[in-house]
Amino acid sequence: MTQSALSKKLKMKPGAKALVLNAPAGYAAELEPLPEGATLAAKGKGPFDFVQVFARNRAEMATLAHDGAAVLAPQSVLWLCFPKGSSKIQTDLTRDTGWDVIDTLNLKYVTLVSVNDTWSAFALRPYKPGEQAKESNRIAERMKA
C-alpha cells in the first residue's frame, strides 16, 4: 500500500515511530495510509522519529513545542502546526509572529508547509554536529536567509 500524500509531504519514513500531539479530531485518518512499518501514537516515551504538534495559540505552542522537542530523535523533524489565517480558529500565531518559543528549542528551521485547509506547519530539526546555531532563531528572519 502506498503512503498518503500528506505523510509523504511531511517526510514520514518507512518504519518511523511517530508522535502526534494535540491533533484535531480525525487528523490521524489524513495521515493514512502510513509508510510501511510506521506506527502512530498520541502519547508515549521517546525517542520518536517523527513528531508533530498542533497548537491553537502561543500558550499551547509554548508547552507543546517543548514536549515534542523533548522526545525528538536525532536527525528527525519536529512539525509545529498552527491555524491558518483563513481558518475559523481564533489564534495569536501567524507565519511571522508568536514564535518566541523557537528561540528556546535550539532547533534549525527547515521549511513551512500547508498541512490541510486549516493548518500550516513549520519543520524544525536538531542542528547537525559542527553546524552552528544562528544568533537569532526567529522564524521570520530565518525564512529570509
Domain-by-domain residue ranges, the chain? Answer: 5-144
For position 57, what pLDDT does the model report?
Answer: 96
Query: In terms of Cα–Cα distance, which of 138, 50, 52 is closest to 95?
Result: 138
For position 52, what pLDDT does the model report?
Answer: 98
For position 21, what pLDDT does the model report?
Answer: 98
**CATH number for the domain running over 5-144:** 3.40.50.150
Q: Any residues with CB less than 8 A from the CB of 33 and at least 6 apart, and which?
A: 1, 2, 3, 4, 7
Alpha helices per DSSP H over 49-123:
58-70
H or E stretch at 48: strand 48-54
For position 127, what pLDDT does the model report?
Answer: 87
For position 16, what pLDDT does the model report?
Answer: 97
Query: In terms of Cα–Cα distance, which of 49, 142, 43, 131 is closest to 99?
Result: 142
For position 5, what pLDDT does the model report?
Answer: 95
Name the stretches of the chain with pLDDT < 70: 1, 132-145
For position 132, what pLDDT does the model report?
Answer: 67
